[in-house]
Amino acid sequence: MIVAVGVDVCDVARFVAELERVPRLRERIFTPEERDLPDASLAARFAAKEAIAKALGAPPGMRWHDCTVHRISGSAPVVEIRGTVAARAAALGITRWHLSITHDGGIASAMVVAEGPDRPRE
């Protein structure tokens, strides 16, 4: 059963300019394995994290590092959650994530579907 959806878009050039303007932003938003990705991929990961936050209702106190987007060659990206993100997902009954990310023409975008267990039919 679909519990929630989230969508986000990010202007790659604007995002990169913000990373350059605020030197610690990269470390604040991204986990160590994400930090060295190309700029467009970082913008797409940011859009993915924003989409996930939106699906969770943008709870206060959510930590960026409690969500990692893994790239699996030849497969859809995988969302790994822990801490504050996992707690909010559990509270909403979310047990599975479906994520699509892309970047082209200077825009990065992400769409996430949060799924929970099927409800029994009445």
Phi and psi of 24, rounded to 5°?
-85, -5
Q: How far is CA 81 from the centre of its chain?
A: 10
| Cβ burial, residue 41 (10 Å; 0-12/13-18/19+) | middle
Angle 42-64-89 from CA coordinates, rounded to 5°: 115
Asked if 101 and 44 count as a contact pair (C-beta separation under 8 A), the reply is: yes
| Residue of 104, 76, 99, 77 whose CA lies nearest to 12 | 104
Amino acid at 37: L
- Residue 18, annotated as binding a ligand: no
- Residue 66, annotated as binding a ligand: no
Q: Binding site: what residues are annotated?
A: 8, 50
Q: Binding site for Mg(2+): what residues are annotated?
A: 8, 50
